[in-house]
């Protein structure tokens, strides 16, 4: 598949207010892209747009949207197409989630909202924007999933399921568009040094699993994605050590189950009962306990 010429490309990037999305917006702008950036926190988007403009690049168009709500993605697609006069590259980076055991989450609203953000909204954006790309015979669709689809953890199953669903949809979409001229890319981050690491560490014993790989740098992740677009790559896995997990998933899952079983065995009854009944929304707009954990992670370097 031929690569994408980023300079002059019209890009809709979701989840741009922080983390990988924020770094990717700066990388794409530096390469000459014309951006529409979206997230729920408009103030952070405007700050990012100002930073990009101050660096001498085309100021992004800010379109705030809450992709946990059904219908928001289709409205976002319409707004972006109108503002950019078409979309050449769609980057589905927005993410949110749910923390808790599978039995506790069930079909609660928190779990359904996680699927809306991480699965249904990306598919709605693809449904709205892909037809024009295929008609032109060019463009790119980038879906940011997660290595959680390869190796989950206790309390992370709901989130991992949303990313696994998007991963499988992305693989299928790539087959379906293989002769269309539209590049389909899956980005699979492993542990990255962003605020999400704060809430991740609320899960009992997860340090045992995270010890397998050092944290990746979000700026490096963003650079790799931009370079992959230019080269026409269909998959990016980062950090480097996460590639081994992608290539040997059965071994990694066996080891994860072993570590998780040890963690559960070591819990006292009070801890186990409290954890087994807890359900929280995660992400920047999540519940108070997860927001505080994210903020504490961001503050650690300035403490």
Single out the residue of 47, 12, 233, 265 nearest to residue 121, CA to CA.
Answer: 12
Instruction: Output phi, psi for 64, to 5 deg.
Output: -75, 145
Cis peptide before 239 (omega within 30 of 0): yes
Residue 149 DSSP code: G
Active-site residue identified among 119, 159, 238, 246: 159
Single out the residue of 173, 138, 130, 142 nearest to residue 24, CA to CA.
Answer: 142
79: tokens are 């707004």
Neighbours of 215 (CB within 10 A): 13
Please report the sign of the dihedral spanned by the C-alpha atoms of residue 146, residue 151, residue 157, residue 161. Answer: positive
The answer to whether 25 touches 60, Cβ cutoff 8 Å, is yes
**Do you know the residue count of the chain?**
303
Report the alpha-carbon distance of residue 293 to residue 202 in Å, rounded. 8
Single out the residue of 4, 117, 22 nearest to residue 60, CA to CA.
Answer: 22
262: tokens are 């040890």
The answer to whether 280 touches 286, Cβ cutoff 8 Å, is yes
238 noted as active-site residue = no
Q: β-strands 97-100, 279-282: how paired?
A: antiparallel
What are the catalytic residues? 159
């Amino acid at each position: 598949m031929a690569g994408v010429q980023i300079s002059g490309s019209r890009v809709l990037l979701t989840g741009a207010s922080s983390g990988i999305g924020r770094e990717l917006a700066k990388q794409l702008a530096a390469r000459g892209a014309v951006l529409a950036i979206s997230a729920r926190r408009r103030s952070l988007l405007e700050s990012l747009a100002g930073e990009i403009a101050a660096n001498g690049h085309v100021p992004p168009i800010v379109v705030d949207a809450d992709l946990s709500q059904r219908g928001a993605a289709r409205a976002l697609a319409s707004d972006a197409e109108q503002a950019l006069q078409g979309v050449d590259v769609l980057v589905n980076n927005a993410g949110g989630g749910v923390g808790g055991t599978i039995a506790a989450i069930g079909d609660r609203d928190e779990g359904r909202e996680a699927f809306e953000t991480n699965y249904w909204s990306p598919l709605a954006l693809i449904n709205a924007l892909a037809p024009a790309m295929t008609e032109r015979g060019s463009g790119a669709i980038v879906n940011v999933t997660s290595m959680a689809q390869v190796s989950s953890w206790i309390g992370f199953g709901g989130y991992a399921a949303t990313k696994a669903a998007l991963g499988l949809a992305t693989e299928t979409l790539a087959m379906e568009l293989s002769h269309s001229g539209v590049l389909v890319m899956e980005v699979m981050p492993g542990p990255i040094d962003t605020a999400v690491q704060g809430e991740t560490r609320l899960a009992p014993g997860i340090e045992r699993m995270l010890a397998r790989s050092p944290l990746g740098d979000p700026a490096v992740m963003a650079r790799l994605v931009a370079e992959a677009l230019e080269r026409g790559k269909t998959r990016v896995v980062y950090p480097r050590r996460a590639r081994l997990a992608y290539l040997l998933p059965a071994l990694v899952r066996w080891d994860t189950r072993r570590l998780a079983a040890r963690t559960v065995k070591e819990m006292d009854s009070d801890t186990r009962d409290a954890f087994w009944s807890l359900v929280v929304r995660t992400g920047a707009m999540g519940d108070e306990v997860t927001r505080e954990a994210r903020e504490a992670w961001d503050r650690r370097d300035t403490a």
